[in-house]
Amino acid sequence: PIDVSAEHLLYSWANWVYPYSSVSRNRFDAFASLGQFSAFVYPFGRQDLPNRYANTSKIIITMFILDDQYEESWGDGRGRRLDLCESFWAEWESMIDKLEDPVAAPVPMTNWAPYLVGTYATLDAVAIDLDPIQRRRFVDLWRPYGAANVAETMLIKTRLHELTSIRMHTIGTQQLMMLSEYVEGVGGTDRPGMTAAEWASPLWQRYVRVCCEHMICVNDMFSFEKEYRQECGNLANMFNVVALTTRLAPGSTVSDGMRQIVARIQVYECSIIKIYTEIVTDGREGTGGRDGRNCMPSSRAMRRMADRMLYFVGGNYKFHTVCDRYRRFSAISEC
């Protein structure tokens, strides 16, 4: 595997993003190290395909920049101001149109924010190397990202199941999980990836959902203090499962809410292992799993992807325990 935590690689990839970031060098340096997420969640990248690892790191860095640009008071969204967020994510929609079909939807890029131009360049570099099925999946998973972020802004005061449903799109985990095939060079006729039918099967979608919900809880647990400080202690302004769990239980403290989320994470972990076992085996040694849709054995590609998602979930957890974004809160002045 490629050790993308090596600083000379990571920062050379990050520096490609910097000119598009629309933030100061001082602030950007806090984003640059976040590309190491790739090292934690894609442990099987190929040495002969280093650009694919580079592209995943760039996508991750740009996702964090996008997140802060519309959430933070210093960003273009001025702290989730709805009118600005709607305009902000409308540009995202035009970018996805162009990604889907650059010829049929020749959207001018001149009015895009610089960080969207950089995001498009990276997503397009990935899409070029995907087979038609993977490319369709890639575009379809990214398309709701903008609208879901607008919904997140509008529905801060919502119910927990609605929050989770929206976060399934805005946290970006499905989009990043599918890139496990990309970094390993899976796709096409030589090493076919998961088919559209396999990805859409009820069992697989249940697996994806539980994995994503686990990662939502992990992210919100570790990012709680950052968001709490950002909102000056106002739980009502936090789109965070810990905050919402606390608010929905009268008399609960944040510690109570945190304990409930920890318990939920443990339940998700048990569910992940159970569904994974269903996918890779039907209980008989040496046989493939069942896809949950028509009781046909799951393919090698599906079993491989199920395995990779275990690494993704575990890597995501580990990343959050070491990431400075969730451990250090010193003020960064804009220069």
Per-position pLDDT tens, the chain of length 335: 555 556 678 888 999 999 999 999 999 998 988 998 998 999 888 888 889 989 999 999 999 999 889 888 888 888 788 888 888 888 898 899 999 988 776 667 888 899 999 999 999 999 999 999 999 999 999 999 988 888 887 776 455 567 777 888 888 889 999 999 999 999 987 889 999 999 999 999 999 999 999 999 999 999 999 888 888 888 888 888 999 899 888 889 999 999 999 999 999 999 999 999 999 985 343 445 555 444 556 899 999 999 999 999 999 999 999 888 877 644 433 32
b/e per residue 234-266 (b: at least 16 CB within 10 A): ebebbbbbbbbbbeeeeeeebeebbebbeebbe
b/e per residue 105-121 (b: at least 16 CB within 10 A): eebeeeebbebbebbbb
Contact 18, 30 (CB under 8 A): no
Write down the pLDDT at residue 161.
61
Write down the pLDDT at residue 246.
92
Write down the pLDDT at residue 266.
97
For residue 127, the cross-strand partners are none
For the chain, the domains span: 7-326
Select from 333, 284, 117, 306 the least CA-distant residue to 210.
306
Write down the pLDDT at residue 6.
62
7-326 domain in CATH 1.10.600.10? yes
Contact 221, 262 (CB under 8 A): yes
Tokens 């409308």 label which residue?
A: 90
Q: How far apart are CA 162 and CA 312, in angstroms?
A: 24
